[in-house]
Structure 1
């Protein structure tokens, strides 16, 4: 398996470890500043991945699907990072420290609006990831060495459209209590 895949896995684990450490220091140990420092370190994980993937490509390695996944990971981390931390914070307070309110489940129009907002984050993630792929493509300037990136971007484009259609469907078929969603 390509070492970039292992690095992506390590970065994802690192992202959640920093979040858990940050929330644990903030709420369990009452060290708010130290908790904030750990939460603020989550973007460092993305920076490590970006530097490693750039170095790998710069050294002459042909771009692979793993490099495209690195760009996608960075895009998603930037697009969804803040909301993922907010989600983790909310659930940590309720389920671990028993100090926060129970996380609210949304239904009907509220759920549809939240889903469309999430699609907006997906679009932002896509724009960031696609830009990174475009930059790589531009600098390598060799279709044969970068075709895996373009193939992955085409699939992600389709996923983005499907996600939009699903998000819009909740305005037509609102989520009801007790019924599963797509």
Structure 2
């Protein structure tokens, strides 16, 4: 049942976000759009409440509970940037706003970008692990929460793999591509 709630919250996140942006730009209802966008984090609270209620009712913590903690961590850490990403695109499309920002293609700007994204992933991992530990403490029964301990290792593994991108860009920063020669290259004269 909790997996259905997680899926519903993911769908709800995008539905509330889209409704807020539609109200804000095409319908030009700024206050309604802002109120809907402020409601996006409420979707996370629904998932948190469902998880706590499930555990308090005597359920044995399993894969869905760990997934809920991971989802909440990533939603909190990346939610604001996802809303900003969507807002920039809607503003450009429907309100004549500037073109959306893109991630830097190369150089130290790209390296900084990758480290910032890694920082968000580290925050997501910290939040997810804190929620897992809170669930373990809430239940207070190691037999019922054994599955949650494994989730801390999963989140740590995801973070370790994620760290490869900023490390790679730090050690070998990408360079701009060479501009192609204009026109066709000069052909060599063949010996006769």
TM norm structure 1: 0.90
Distance 2:141 2:27 in 1: 53
Once the two structures are superposed, residues 56-115 of structure 1 have per-residue CA deviations (whole angstroms, 9 ceiling, x without a partner) of 000000001100111111111111111110011112223x32622223341221111111
Distance 2:132 2:99 in 1: 40
Deviation string 1:17-59 (CA, Å, 9 cap, x unpaired) is: 1111111111111111000011000111011111111000000
- Under a length normalisation based on structure 2, what TM-score does the superposition of the two structures give? 0.85
For residue 97 of structure 1, give the secondary structure of its aligned residue in structure 2. helix
Q: Which of 1 and 2 has greater Rg? A: 2
1:141 Cα shift? 2.4
Distance 2:63 2:176 in 1: 40
Q: Structure 1: 5+ residue runs without aligned partners?
A: none
Report what 2:183 is aligned to: none
Q: CA contact under 8 A between 2:103 and 2:113: conserved in structure 1?
A: no
The equivalent residue for 1:124 is 123
RMSD over equivalenced CA pairs, Å: 1.5
Partners of 1:156 and 1:105 in 2: how far apart? Answer: 25
Higher percent of residues as helix: 1
How many matched pairs?
A: 175
- The answer for the alignment partner of 1:157 in structure 2 is 156
User: 1: distance between equivalents of 2:91 and 2:173?
Assistant: 29
Tell me, in whole angstroms, the C-alpha distance in 2 between the residues paired with 1:164 and 1:145: 32
Q: Which residue number corresponds to residue 147 of structure 1?
A: 146
